[in-house]
């Protein structure tokens, strides 16, 4: 039996900001260009992949984030089990999409760490290290972007009011978290 | 620091992009048919002009898509951005 | 003796809050709201520094960031002191300590002052001319010159303050909160534009906020009152952010600006603990409104630099704003009406104004009339020809000008007592930021100013930085410009009644005449760098013409103030002397920063652990707990070796290497790049990117691949596994991962869009533990008992998908060490546990964790290359003797054509070989040069050592090297010259161990 160890251990609270990792969450990277690809995704997991740049869509169980004109990330809305890493929809979609050459389905569950930032100071924190203009992003629930935070690639998803999810490659996550804690301590 | 209008993601800071050299240099379809000089022309020769330059850029820290940019290198004005595969405008 | 020279209370100074500070070791008192300059003046301290070259006594000249003289060292701890701070910008706080710069032993008695008497010997270009010969003496001159160069002292220890960066995106950025800036910010914010207003001062309102004269009224209110009301209303607006003490340093293209926000410099030591000192604002604005105002010009005349000679506007500000009297016998010297505003303001406060000296013949403007009515004496058509007093101004001499202003009407000289001379030479619009942004200026002949002409981005200049100097002009033009620029219909400022005085006569003389020969005078143009008008004339006589050359030769405008005061005079003198029109001389380039920035601000939080980014593997904690030393590989922190007890690196690596070959070792290989490839053209894609063929690779099998650049040089390598019909996983080198991914995407998007292939990076998704050595099979068997590890079921270069417990794993039987070896890949969050279980299972076999150094040694024994160590972007696969991996049949792959270029086919290219030292204990240095004979001049370098180790398994030193024509040199003796000896080596095959690959199946 293999034990589960996520890279970020603590939930940190600051004035106006709480920072912590949420895991395990299944994450799938989906790529495809054709209409059939989009239809197959919709049919099989009941979610419409967003076509508009910098947006996301959600169903009860999953959230789909636009990454590029032919790339999306689907994330579980609910915590998955640590005891096994068989994800039902991974196999389903791999069979329906990849094996039929409609596109690609790749498990990136542990490729990306999801850090949740909540509180009214989120964008003050982000402004200390992110060149992205959050003025429109702030006002739209579900908006998403890929950009740099402290020079590290991140995907930022505005999942609800005063809350964003930050996706970062696992190997960078400790450094980024340390940077966030440092910056947040001065908010 | 440019503000670059990625054709897919919209206006973003230059730090999200990497520059990829001159645009519209197509890889020869049949390299083995080429003389050393012809191959060298493809491999090494690039323009470096003061003025209008056709360039390739990649939104490396965003959607990772490549696109074309027409830029005036004398004042850094971006004249036009268009997708990969699209033809440059005439004139 | 310190005195307190204060007039009646000022709105901006809190006289109830007394502040004590030290200057040059002496304690003084000032009030909250004072700058160091105003507090010193209030204590009758004018002498604050010595000039750069002649060490002349200098006093406070201005009241703002343009200050050239009053530059001080702040802080008494030489470890963390700050040099070159303008006293006019330092807000005093309890405990402030500052001292004069560029003087020794003290500002009052300065040895360097002797330079002033030597000054005839120190003209422009003195150092260039004098120390040229003999050239060999430069080293000796340099010591002396360096000692006398520079202004303040650098701190000796790292900066302890905290700095931060912040990105701001706004619709409208307004720079400068004077009257026009306030109008702009209010107009923008009222019209729902997200607005940012910045000002370098601590208060809003610019100069108008202390303009309490009946001569200037807006809407029937005194202009300062009117502006105060505007500011109150402005502060109520929602979508407006105001930042004071914030100076815009740079204006780049695409409306990207950098500003320094000063947060704690005005606070006492206790107040600023743990606070961010300064913040670098990185501003991206849709529209920029520059309202930076204008700088008053000095006048250039003989000895115009004595302490007590100040800008007339500064004298006014010290009186009106700080309530400080700069002198008891005040005289103003002017070429325009500004000085009269100052004179009247002082007069009305009961401060003595002896007279005004005006170079104009007359003026009938209302403000001049008012001065006359008050009984202030005016000397028309007069100029100051000299000043007297060494450490403080005592007297001035004046003479009447001739009609043309170039000489004198008569030889009468009048000497006047004076301890403060307010000079007023007109106004220069602060166009620095505008020109930094790429804007083009035009010259306005009427009042001799450069003003914005062509805007390179969405920006506008308003107020006096746009050349509008009179109040009615400012209000009318600002209002009109704003409506147009912000696209708004109505403005609060449409029909305001404005009362102002109008200047009716103008006269400007860039270099005022002296009764002495110019060579005997000191008319300073650049106070900070001690450049005089005579230096400029000398430069012109010596043939310099371009303003940029004259600037560098005379150092005019090259101080920390970048010549904010004197640059225009330099241009004027050049124009007058050479007979060229001023507009044609052009200006020097204004470069960022507008005012100096500390390095701390530029660096922000990118210091210490945040200096560079690091990446960690899932097993990192285990490595730390087990005493690993780490090595940086790209951004990764990789375990380098695991010393036990007092082991040296060499000892640890020898032990790890031996243990692996003898029984089992384990390596954290999680850092290798991993790319998931799917799509119906995946095989074809691999055929095109790798040098070898991929179509026939069976599902579940692995293959080594070599990737070239189009120039034929080796770019990356790694093992790719076929997971399914159209599904592969590619591994890349650790350092090359991001570049390979980007390069492959580039080809797919631009050259081969027809290929149905998708790439996804999964580098971080997997943790990889590599177990290798003769006992690795037994260990794996303990870990996964139900997996058939027989060579038939699981041969070398094949792959299995299995479960450890309920966790899915991928195992590749591949080897970079030459040993029987398994690479176990598991989802990253199970990686640490996998590693620990491998260690547990391997205990009975003495499984030994090894780091990158041992990995390098083991592969070198096998002659396997490391891209980036044994290659350097100039090696083809043929050079590396890796012809076996280059397909002859494939029609094309990246770089193929280049392998047949005449250059890549040369026989004498550097080729990969092995080297053995004659003395098997001598370890070669990586990078050492290789030669074949010494009887050449110069000796021909044949190549260099790329990898070198002592192999514990072969018990001898081994090395890989690249040598010209090395392929045909097997057995040849070569030499490696080192500093103290020459090492003899023999060229051998690069595979040192197990050429038959028996160990793979041991």
Rounded CA gap, C949 and A137, in Å?
A: 55
pLDDT for C139 equals 63
Could you say which of A7, A82, A106 has the minimum Cβ distance to residue C760?
Answer: A106
Could you say which of A6, A171, A172 has the minimum Cβ distance to residue C829?
Answer: A6
Q: What is the dihedral of CA C918, C924, C928, C929, to 10 degrees?
A: 10
Each residue of C345-357: pLDDT tens digit? 999 999 999 999 9
List CB contacts (< 8 A) between C683 and chain A: none
pLDDT for C144 equals 61
Sign of the torsion formed by the C-alpha atoms of C299, C300, C301 and C302: positive
Rounded CA gap, C844 and C779, in Å?
A: 9
Each residue of C581-592: pLDDT tens digit? 988 888 888 889
Each residue of C272-311: pLDDT tens digit? 998 999 999 999 999 999 999 999 999 999 999 999 999 9
C322 shares its domain with C285: no
- Work out the mean pLDDT of chain B and round it to a whole number: 95
pLDDT for C176 equals 98
Could you say which of A67, A131, A133 has the minimum Cβ distance to residue B63?
Answer: A67
C202 shares its domain with C312: no
Chain A contact partners (≥3 CB pairs within 8 A): B, C
E strands, C955-995, in order: 956-964, 973-977, 982-988
Residue C271 lies in a domain: yes
Average pLDDT over residues C699-705: 97
Q: Which of C382, C398, C425 is where one domain is finished?
A: C425
E strands, C254-394, in order: 256-262, 276-290, 294-296, 309-311, 330-334, 353-358, 377-380, 382-388
Residue C531 lies in a domain: yes
Q: Which of C468, C499, C530 is where one domain is finished?
A: C499
Burial class (CB in 10 A: 0-12, 13-18, 19+), B62: buried
List CB contacts (< 8 A) between C897 and chain B: 28, 31-32, 34, 39
Asked whether the predicted pLDDT for residue C174 surpasses 70, the reply is: yes
Average pLDDT over residues A4-26: 95
Rounded CA gap, C6 and C321, in Å?
A: 11
Which among A52, A146, A168 is the top mutation candidate for probing chain B, defined by the most B β-carbons within 10 Å of its own β-carbon? A146
Beta carbons of C254 and B1 less than 8 Å apart:
yes
- Work out the mean pLDDT of chain A and round it to a whole number: 96
Peptide bond into C229 cis (omega under 30): no
C641 in Cβ contact with C626 (< 8 Å) = no
Half-sphere exposure in the Cβ direction for B50 (13 Å, CA): 2
C310 in Cβ contact with C325 (< 8 Å) = no
Percent with pLDDT over 70 in chain C: 96
Which among B61, B64, B66, B67 is the top mutation candidate for probing chain A, defined by the most A β-carbons within 10 Å of its own β-carbon? B61
The residue of chain B with its CA nearest to that of A67 is B63
Q: Which two tokens stand for residue C84?
A: 């070159």
How many domains, chain C? 4
Q: Which two tokens stand for residue C791?
A: 């060579």
Q: Smallest Cα–Cα separation from C84: which of C597, C603, C601?
A: C597
Reported for A56-64, long-range contacts at CB under 8 A and 24+ positions apart, including other chains, are A56/A142, A56/A143, A56/A144, A56/A157, A57/A142, A58/A142, A62/A89, A63/A157, A63/A159, A64/A30
Rounded CA gap, C512 and C299, in Å?
A: 8
Chain C contact partners (≥3 CB pairs within 8 A): A, B
Q: How far apart are the first and last CA of chain C?
A: 95
Domain boundaries, chain B: 3-83
Pairing of strands C524-526, C531-532: antiparallel
Q: Which residues contact C422 (CB under 8 A, 6 or more apart)?
A: C310, C311, C312, C314, C315, C316, C326, C330, C331, C332, C333, C339, C342, C343
Tokens 């301290």, located at residue? C45
Q: Is A129 on the interface with B (CB under 8 A)?
A: no
- B-C contacts (CB, under 8 Å): 56
Asked whether the predicted pLDDT for residue A164 surpasses 70, the reply is: yes
Residue C91 lies in a domain: no
Homologous superfamily of domain range B3-83: Folate-binding superfamily (3.30.2270.10)
Confidence of residue C51 (pLDDT cuts 50, 70, 90): confident
Of A53-62, C97-106, C570-579, C990-999, where does mean pLDDT reach its minimum?
C97-106
Domain CATH number, residue C353: 3.50.50.60
Rounded CA gap, C493 and C471, in Å?
A: 13
Average pLDDT over residues C320-349: 95
Residue C547 lies in a domain: yes
pLDDT for C134 equals 61
Half-sphere exposure in the Cβ direction for A86 (13 Å, CA): 8
Residue C616 Ramachandran class (φ > 0 left, ψ -120 to 50 alpha, else beta): beta
Q: How far does B22 lie from chain C, in Å, by closest CA?
A: 13
pLDDT for C2 equals 46
Beta carbons of B61 and A146 less than 8 Å apart:
yes
Paired residues of C833 in beta bridges: none
Pairing of strands C47-50, C309-311: unpaired
pLDDT for C110 equals 72
Rounded CA gap, A173 and A112, in Å?
A: 8
Residue C726 lies in a domain: no
pLDDT for C1 equals 37
Rounded CA gap, C843 and C382, in Å?
A: 100
C284 shares its domain with C171: yes
Q: How far does A129 lie from chain C, in Å, by closest CA?
A: 7
E strands, C69-161, in order: 71-74, 82-86, 97-100
Asked whether the predicted pLDDT for residue B91 surpasses 80, the reply is: no
Instruction: List the A56-58 sheet strands across, edge first.
Output: A56-58, A62-68, A71-76, A27-32, A103-107
Q: Which of C499, C529, C550 is where one domain is finished?
A: C499
Which segments of C12-123 does DSSP mark as H helices, in order?
A: 36-42, 114-118
C317 shares its domain with C418: yes
- Work out the mean pLDDT of chain C and round it to a whole number: 93
Residue C784 lies in a domain: no
Asked whether the predicted pLDDT for residue B74 surpasses 90, the reply is: yes
Each residue of C725-775: pLDDT tens digit? 999 999 999 999 999 999 999 999 999 999 999 999 999 999 999 999 999
Boundaries of domain holding C360: 305-425
C290 shares its domain with C176: yes
pLDDT for C170 equals 98
Q: What is the DSSP string of C444-496?
A: ETTTTEEEEEE-SSSEEE-GGGGT--SHHHHHHHHHHHHHHHTT-S--TTTT-
pLDDT for C102 equals 74
Domain CATH number, residue C562: 1.10.10.1100
Asked whether the predicted pLDDT for residue C868 surpasses 70, the reply is: yes
Asked whether the predicted pLDDT for residue C432 surpasses 80, the reply is: yes
Beta carbons of B16 and A148 less than 8 Å apart:
yes
C659 in Cβ contact with C864 (< 8 Å) = no
Residue C741 lies in a domain: no
Pairing of strands C665-668, C673-678: unpaired
Which segments of C200-264 does DSSP mark as H helices, in order?
A: 223-235
Residue C943 lies in a domain: yes
Q: Give the angle C177-C180-C185 at the CA atoms, nearest 5°.
A: 65
Tokens 């003026």, located at residue? C363
List CB contacts (< 8 A) between A31 and chain C: 678, 758, 760
Pairing of strands C162-175, C195-198: parallel
List CB contacts (< 8 A) between B60 and chain C: 742
Of A48-52, A64-68, C12-16, C397-401, where does mean pLDDT reach its minimum?
C12-16
Q: Which two tokens stand for residue C882?
A: 């890796």
Rounded CA gap, C618 and C825, in Å?
A: 12
- Give the global pTM: 0.94
Q: Smallest Cα–Cα separation from C23: which of C4, C49, C56?
A: C49
C345 shares its domain with C371: yes
pLDDT for C614 equals 96
Helix, strand, coil percentages (3-state) for chain B, rounded to 5, are 15, 35, 45
Asked whether the predicted pLDDT for residue C129 surpasses 70, the reply is: no
Could you say which of B18, B32, B66 has the minimum Cβ distance to residue C897?
Answer: B32
Rounded CA gap, C710 and C713, in Å?
A: 7
Rounded CA gap, C348 and C747, in Å?
A: 79
Rounded CA gap, C579 and C449, in Å?
A: 18
Domains and CATH numbers, chain A: 10-24+110-187 (3.30.1360.120), 26-108 (3.30.70.1520)
Each residue of C185-239: pLDDT tens digit? 999 999 999 999 999 999 999 999 999 999 999 999 999 999 999 999 999 999 9
pLDDT for C518 equals 87
ipTM of the prediction greater than 0.95, yes or no: yes
Give exposure, C541-580, as e/b (b: 16+ Cβ within 10 Å). eeebeebeebbebbbbbbbbbbbbbbbbbbbbbbbbbeee
Rounded CA gap, C514 and C116, in Å?
A: 19
pLDDT for C120 equals 66
Beta carbons of A186 and C164 less than 8 Å apart:
yes
Residue A153 Ramachandran class (φ > 0 left, ψ -120 to 50 alpha, else beta): beta
C391 in Cβ contact with C307 (< 8 Å) = yes
Average pLDDT over residues C69-94: 92
């Amino acid at each position: 039996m293999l034990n589960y160890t996520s890279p970020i251990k603590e939930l940190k609270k600051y004035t106006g900001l709480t920072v912590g990792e949420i895991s395990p969450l299944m994450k799938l990277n989906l790529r495809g260009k054709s209409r059939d690809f989009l239809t197959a995704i919709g049919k099989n997991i009941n979610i419409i992949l967003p076509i508009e740049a910098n947006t996301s869509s959600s169903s009860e169980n999953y959230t789909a984030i636009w990454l590029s004109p032919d790339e999306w990330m689907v994330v579980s809305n609910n915590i998955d089990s640590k005891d096994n890493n068989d994800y039902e929809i991974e196999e389903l979609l791999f069979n329906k999409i990849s094996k039929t050459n409609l596109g690609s389905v790749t498990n990136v569950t542990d490729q990306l760490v999801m850090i949740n930032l909540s509180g009214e100071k989120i964008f003050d924190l982000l402004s200390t290290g992110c060149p992205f203009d959050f003025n429109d992003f702030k006002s739209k629930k579900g908006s998403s972007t890929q950009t740099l935070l402290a020079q590290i690639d991140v995907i930022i998803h505005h999942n609800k009011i005063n809350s964003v999810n930050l996706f970062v490659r696992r190997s960078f996550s400790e450094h980024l978290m340390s940077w966030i804690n440092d910056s947040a301590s001065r908010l | 620091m440019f503000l670059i209008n990625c054709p897919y993601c919209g206006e973003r800071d230059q730090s999200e992009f990497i520059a990829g050299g001159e645009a519209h240099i197509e890889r020869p379809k049949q390299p083995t048919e080429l003389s050393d000089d012809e191959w060298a022309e493809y491999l090494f020769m690039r323009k470096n002009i003061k003025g209008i330059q056709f360039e390739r850029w990649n939104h490396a820290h965003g959607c990772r898509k490549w696109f074309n940019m027409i830029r005036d290198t004398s004042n850094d004005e971006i004249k036009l951005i268009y997708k990969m595969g699209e033809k440059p405008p005439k004139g | 003796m310190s005195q307190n020279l204060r007039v009646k209370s000022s709105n901006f100074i809190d006289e109830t809050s007394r502040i004590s500070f030290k200057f040059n070791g002496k304690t003084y008192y000032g009030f909250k709201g004072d700058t160091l300059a105003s507090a010193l003046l209030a204590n009758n301290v004018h002498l604050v520094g010595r000039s750069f070259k002649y060490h002349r006594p200098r006093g406070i000249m201005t009241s703002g960031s343009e200050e050239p003289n009053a530059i001080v060292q702040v802080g008494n701890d030489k470890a963390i002191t700050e040099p070159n701070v303008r006293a006019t910008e330092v807000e005093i706080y309890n405990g402030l300590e500052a001292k004069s710069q560029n003087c020794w032993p003290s500002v009052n008695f300065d040895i360097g002052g002797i330079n002033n008497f030597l000054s005839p010997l120190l003209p422009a270009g003195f150092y260039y001319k004098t120390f040229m010969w003999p050239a060999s003496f430069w080293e000796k001159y340099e010591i002396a010159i360096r000692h006398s160069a520079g202004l303040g002292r650098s701190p000796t220890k790292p900066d302890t303050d905290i700095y931060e960066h912040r990105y701001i995106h706004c619709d409208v950025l307004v720079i400068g909160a004077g009257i026009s800036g306030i109008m702009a910010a209010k107009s923008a914010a009222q019209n729902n534009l997200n607005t940012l207003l910045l000002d370098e001062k601590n208060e809003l309102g610019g100069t108008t906020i202390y303009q309490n004269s009946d001569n200037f009224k807006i809407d029937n209110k005194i202009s300062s009152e009117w502006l105060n009301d505007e500011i109150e209303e402005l502060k109520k607006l929602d979508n407006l952010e105001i930042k004071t003490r914030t100076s815009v340093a740079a204006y780049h293209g695409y409306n990207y600006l950098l500003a320094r926000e000063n947060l704690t410099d005005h606070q006492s030591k206790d107040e600023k603990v743990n606070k961010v000192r300064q913040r670098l604002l990185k501003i991206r604005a849709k529209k920029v409104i520059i309202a930076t105002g204008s700088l008053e010009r000095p006048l250039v005349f003989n000895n115009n630099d004595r302490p007590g000679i100040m800008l007339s506007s500064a004298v006014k500000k010290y009186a009106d704003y700080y309530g400080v009297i700069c002198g008891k016998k005040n005289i103003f010297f002017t070429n325009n009406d500004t000085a009269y505003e100052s004179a009247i303001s002082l007069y009305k406060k009961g401060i003595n104004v002896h007279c005004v000296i005006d170079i104009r013949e007359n003026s009938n403007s209302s403000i001049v009339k008012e001065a006359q009515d008050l009984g202030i004496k005016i000397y028309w058509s007069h100029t100051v020809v000299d000043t007297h007093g060494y450490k403080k101004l005592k007297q001035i001499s004046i003479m009447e000008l001739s009609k043309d202003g170039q000489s004198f009407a008569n030889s009468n000289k009048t000497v006047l007592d004076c301890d403060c001379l307010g000079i007023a030479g007109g106004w220069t619009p602060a166009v620095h930021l505008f020109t930094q942004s790429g804007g083009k200026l035009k010259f306005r002949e009427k009042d001799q100013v450069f003003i914005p002409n062509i805007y390179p981005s969405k920006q506008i200049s308003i107020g006096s930085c746009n050349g509008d100097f009179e109040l009615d002009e400012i209000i009318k033009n600002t209002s009109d410009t704003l409506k147009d620029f912000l696209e708004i219909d109505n403005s609060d400022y449409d029909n305001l009644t404005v009362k102002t005085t109008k200047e009716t006569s103008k006269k400007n003389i860039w270099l005022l005449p002296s009764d002495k020969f110019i060579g005997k005078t000191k008319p300073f143009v650049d106070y900070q760098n001690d450049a005089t008008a005579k230096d400029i004339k000398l430069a012109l006589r010596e043939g310099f013409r371009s303003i940029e050359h004259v600037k560098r030769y005379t150092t005019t405008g090259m101080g920390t103030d970048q010549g904010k005061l004197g640059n225009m005079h330099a241009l004027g003198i050049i124009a007058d002397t050479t007979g060229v029109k001023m507009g044609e001389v052009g200006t020097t380039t204004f470069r960022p920063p507008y005012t100096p920035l500390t390095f701390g601000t530029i660096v922000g939080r990118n210091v210490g652990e945040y200096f560079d980014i690091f990446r960690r593997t899932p097993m990192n904690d285990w490595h730390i707990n087990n005493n690993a030393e780490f090595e940086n590989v790209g951004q990764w922190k990789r375990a380098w070796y695991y010393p036990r007890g007092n082991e040296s690196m060499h000892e640890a690596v020898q032990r790890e290497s031996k243990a692996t070959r003898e029984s089992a070792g384990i390596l954290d290989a999680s850092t290798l790049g991993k790319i998931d490839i799917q799509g119906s053209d995946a095989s074809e894609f691999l055929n095109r990117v790798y040098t070898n063929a991929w179509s026939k690779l069976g599902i579940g099998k692995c293959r080594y691949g070599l990737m070239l650049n189009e120039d034929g040089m080796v770019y990356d390598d790694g093992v790719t596994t076929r997971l399914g019909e159209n599904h592969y996983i590619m591994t890349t080198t650790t350092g090359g991962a991001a570049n390979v991914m980007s390069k492959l995407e580039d080809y797919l998007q631009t050259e081969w869009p027809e290929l149905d292939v998708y790439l996804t990076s999964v580098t971080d998704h997997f943790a990889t533990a590599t177990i290798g050595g003769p006992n690795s099979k037994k260990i794996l068997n303990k870990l996964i008992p139900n997996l058939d590890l027989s060579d038939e079921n699981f041969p070398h270069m094949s792959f299995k998908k299995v479960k450890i417990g309920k966790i899915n794993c991928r195992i590749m039987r591949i080897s970079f060490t030459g040993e029987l070896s398994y690479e176990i890949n598991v989802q990253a969050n199970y990686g640490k546990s996998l590693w620990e279980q491998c260690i547990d299972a391997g205990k009975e076999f003495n499984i030994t964790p090894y780091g990158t150094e041992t990995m390098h040694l083991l592969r070198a024994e096998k002659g396997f290359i490391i891209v980036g160590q044994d290659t350097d972007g100039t090696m083809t696969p043929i050079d590396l003797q890796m012809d076996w991996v280059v397909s002859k049949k494939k029609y094309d792959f990246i770089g193929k054509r280049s392998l047949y270029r005449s250059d890549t086919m040369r026989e004498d290219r550097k080729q990969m070989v092995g080297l053995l030292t004659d003395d098997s204990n001598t370890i070669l240095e990586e990078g050492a040069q290789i030669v074949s004979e010494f009887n050449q001049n110069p000796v021909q370098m044949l190549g260099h050592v790329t990898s070198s180790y002592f192999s514990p398994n072969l018990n001898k030193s081994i090395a890989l090297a690249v040598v010209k024509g090395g392929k045909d040199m097997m057995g040849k003796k070569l030499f490696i010259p080192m500093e103290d000896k020459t090492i003899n080596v023999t060229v051998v095959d690069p595979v040192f161990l197990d050429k038959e690959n028996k160990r793979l199946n041991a």
